[in-house]
Structure 1
Amino acid sequence: MPTGNSRYSSPPPQPADPNQDPSWVWPKIKAEARRDADSEPTLASYLYSTILSQSSLDHSLAFHLGNKPCSSTLLSTLLYDLFLNTFSGDPDLRSAAVADLRAARSPWRISGLPQ
């Protein structure tokens, strides 16, 4: 067995597996929203406010969900804070949201149909 200094003290880092690492989801969503906003000017304002101006998936979901049930007596800003605090305080909820996004994007994986 050869001796000497190994170039790596541990195995070299491997690229993240998108099926195991949810960090790829937000940049992909933003890139698709940017592309769609450029090609569909009618949707640009909506995509900007719900996705492109948001700093994270948590913020985007909180903004979107906070605007759904709002009314004059239930302000979207209060709901936004409630949703954001919930997402921020529960990493399992964020993981479930990523799993839902992945399932919506790839329904054949859920139904067992071939790709």
Structure 2
Amino acid sequence: MNSFSPTIQAPNHLLAIWPGIRAEARQASIAEPGLASFYYCTILNHASFQDAITYTLASLLAGPDLSAMLVREVCQEALAEQPGLEVQMLRDIYAWYDRDAACDQYMVPLLHFKGFHALQSHRISHWLWQQGREALALFFQNRISERFGVDIHPAAQMGSGIMIDHATGVVIGETAIVHDDVSMLHSITLGGSGCQSVKRHPTIHKGVLMGAGCKILGNVDVGENAKVAAGSVVIEAVPSGVTVAGVPAKIVGRGRTTKPAESMDQCLPD
């Protein structure tokens, strides 16, 4: 079972996201008439965020062996039966908007960012896994990997407010746990150590920033608000609030900011 208990009631800043997305899409359809039908199909024809996200995921994940209608039905079922799943998705959109300098509109992750698409698709596959529908969950995992270049095992537990920037080459193993408000870049591996069916993948605590290409291997904890420098290989526990770098990774100092996942400051300490 997922150890996270998502909030069901969205706070005010999240409630503003869907109306904001619709307003952005209206403006964009006027500014770029050639894309008007795209904005209508993906956003403006939908009455709710749930309708829009299930349409988007179905369009992206459908294939010869799994129709868009079936994918959308599964997504709708997950959102209906798991309280708080929509809030998790909205928190992820806000994370991109708040932390990614290249994201200046709420609608951009929903429409264009494959890290967002992969993460929301994983949320559906994780729900399927929890329901005992492992065959379909693994099918979803395979489609996510093929479509987005992101491989997250359906059993992996993901919090919310997570940003996977660029996302290409991200691998997250079966027993990995990623808590809320984490930021990660491309080519990251949260890998296992050993072949036994035990906790063998990392636990990433709240507020961690993982730089591009870092590898965190085995049942190790990365403490709250820690930073893992790009290209590092972590094989031992990382205390809260420190920066680690190197192969193997060593502590190189305290973070330059207290919340590296929010600031996205990837420089090493002075």
Q: 1:20 aligns with which of 11, 22, 25?
A: 11
Q: How does 1:96-111 map to 2 (within 5 A)?
A: 96-107=88-99, 110-111=261-262
Show the counterpart of 1:112.
Answer: 263
Q: Please give the TM-score of this superposition, normalised by the length of structure 2.
A: 0.33
- Between the aligned partners of 1:20 and 1:94, the Cα distance in structure 2 is 12
Find the structure with the greater CA-based Rg.
Answer: 1
Show the counterpart of 1:49.
Answer: 41
- Between the aligned partners of 2:51 and 2:83, the Cα distance in structure 1 is 14
RMSD between aligned residues: 2.1
Show the counterpart of 1:31.
Answer: 23
Show the counterpart of 1:15.
Answer: none
Q: Count the aligned residue pairs.
A: 96
Structure 1 residues 29-48: Cα deviation after superposition (integer angstroms, max 9, x where no partner):
10101110111112211110
- Between the aligned partners of 1:106 and 1:64, the Cα distance in structure 2 is 22
**SS in structure 2 at match of 1:26:** helix
Greater helix proportion: 1
**Identity fraction in percent:** 25
Aligned letter for 1:111?
A: E
Q: Which runs of 5 or more residues in structure 2 are unaligned?
A: 1-9, 101-258, 265-270
Greater strand proportion: 2
Aligned letter for 1:31?
A: A
Q: 2:51 aligns with which of 49, 59, 67?
A: 59
Q: Please give the TM-score of this superposition, normalised by the length of structure 1.
A: 0.74
Show the counterpart of 1:73.
Answer: 65
Return the offset for 1:91. 2.8
Structure 1 residues 23-62: Cα deviation after superposition (integer angstroms, max 9, x where no partner):
2111111010111011111221111011000110011000
**SS in structure 1 at match of 2:75:** helix
Which 4+ residue blocks in structure 1 deviate beyond 4 angstroms? none
- Between the aligned partners of 1:83 and 1:106, the Cα distance in structure 2 is 26
User: Is residue 40 of structure 2 the alignment partner of residue 40 of structure 1?
Assistant: no
Aligned letter for 1:112?
A: S
Q: Which runs of 5 or more residues in structure 1 are unaligned?
A: 1-18
- Between the aligned partners of 1:104 and 1:48, the Cα distance in structure 2 is 23
- Between the aligned partners of 1:44 and 1:88, the Cα distance in structure 2 is 30
